[in-house]
Amino acid sequence: MSAAFPIALASAAILSGTSLLYATLGELIGERAGIVNLGLEGLMLIGASTGFAGAAVTANPYLGVAAAALAGVAANGLFSYVVITRHANQLAAGLSLTFFGLGASALIGRPFVGAIVPGLPHLGAFDLLVWLAAPLAIVLSGLLYRTRWGLTLRAVGESPAAAFAAGRRPDRVQYEALAVAGALGGISGAHLSLAVALTWDEGMTAGRGFIAIALVIFAGWNPLWAVIGALVFGGAESLQLQFQARGVDVSPFLMNMVPYLLTLLVLTFSGLRGRSAAPAGLGRSFFGVE
Partner 1 sequence: MTRLRMLLAALLPLVLALLALPAAWPAAAADNLIVGAIYVGSVNDYGYNRSMHDGLMAMKAAIPGVTVLEAENVPESAEAERVMEGMIQQGAKLIFATSFGHQQFAFNLAQKHPDVDFEHAGGWMQAANFGNFFGATQAAWYPMGVAAGKMTKTNTLGFVAGVPIGYVIGNINAFALGARSVNPKVEVRVVATGSWSDKAKEAAATGALIDQGADVIAMHVDSPATVIQVAESRGVYSIGFQSLEARALAPKGWITGLGFTWGPFMTATAKSVIDGAFKPAMVREGLGEGMIAIAPFGPAVPEETQALVTAAADKVGKGFNPFTGPITDNTGVVRIKDGEAWGGDKMGNFDWYVEGVIGKAK
Partner 2 sequence: MPREAALARFGPAASAARRALIVAVAASAIFALLLLIDGKDPVRAYRDTIVYVFANAYGFSELFVRMSPLLLTSVAVALPSRLGLINVGGEGQLYMGGLFATAGALGFAHWPALALIPLMTALGFLGGALWALLPGLLRAAKLVNETISTLLLNYIAPLIVSYVIFGPWRSSESASYPESPAFAAGARLPTLGSTRVHLGLVYGLVCLCIYGFAIGRTRWGLEMRAIGGNAEASLRLGVPVSAYIIGSMAVAGGVAGLAGMAEASAIQGRLVAQLSPGYGFMGFLVAWLAGGSAVGILTMAALFAVLSSVGDVLQITQGVPFSVINLLMAAILFIVLGERGAGGRR
- For binding to partner 2 (CB under 8 A), which residues are involved? 38, 78, 81-83, 86-93, 95-100, 102-104, 106-107, 110, 202, 207, 210-211, 213-214, 217, 251, 253-254, 256-257, 260-261, 263-264, 267-268, 271-272, 276, 278, 280-285, 287
Judge whether 143 and 32 are in contact, CB under 8 Å.
no
Closer CB to partner 1, 7 or 264, in the complex: 7
Residues 63-92 close enough to bind partner 1 by CB under 8 A: none
**Least gap, CB of 45 to partner 1 (angstroms):** 12
Whole-Å CA distances, 148 to 35, 168, 240, 258, 287? 19, 11, 43, 38, 23
**Least gap, CB of 246 to partner 2 (angstroms):** 20
How far apart are the C-alpha atoms of 17 and 15, rounded to whole Å?
Answer: 5
Q: How many CA atoms lie within 13 A of 190 on its CB side?
A: 36
What does 107-123 look like in DSSP terms, one character per residue?
HHHGGGTT---PPPPEE
Helix residue ranges per DSSP H, the chain: 5-32, 40-58, 61-80, 90-109, 128-146, 148-158, 160-165, 170-191, 208-218, 223-245, 252-272
Only one of the segments 22-30, 88-96, 140-148, 238-246 lies at the binding site for partner 1 (rule: CB under 8 A); that segment is 238-246
Judge whether 124 and 75 are in contact, CB under 8 Å.
no
Only one of the segments 8-16, 142-150, 171-179, 260-268 lies at the binding site for partner 1 (rule: CB under 8 A); that segment is 8-16
Q: What angle do CA 222, 88, 27 make, to 5 degrees?
A: 20
Closer CB to partner 2, 100 or 164, in the complex: 100
Tell whether residue 178 is a contact of partner 1 (CB under 8 A): no
Tell whether residue 246 is a contact of partner 1 (CB under 8 A): yes
Residue 127 phi/psi, 5-degree rounding, is -85, 170
Work out which of 242, 267, 270, 284 binds partner 1, going by CB under 8 A.
Answer: 242
Neighbour count for residue 188 (Cβ, 10 Å) = 34
Tell whether residue 12 is a contact of partner 1 (CB under 8 A): yes
Which parts of this chain interact with partner 1 (CB under 8 A)?
1-3, 8, 11-12, 15-16, 19, 106, 110, 113-114, 116, 119, 192-193, 196-199, 201-202, 204-206, 208, 237-238, 241-242, 244-247, 249, 252-253
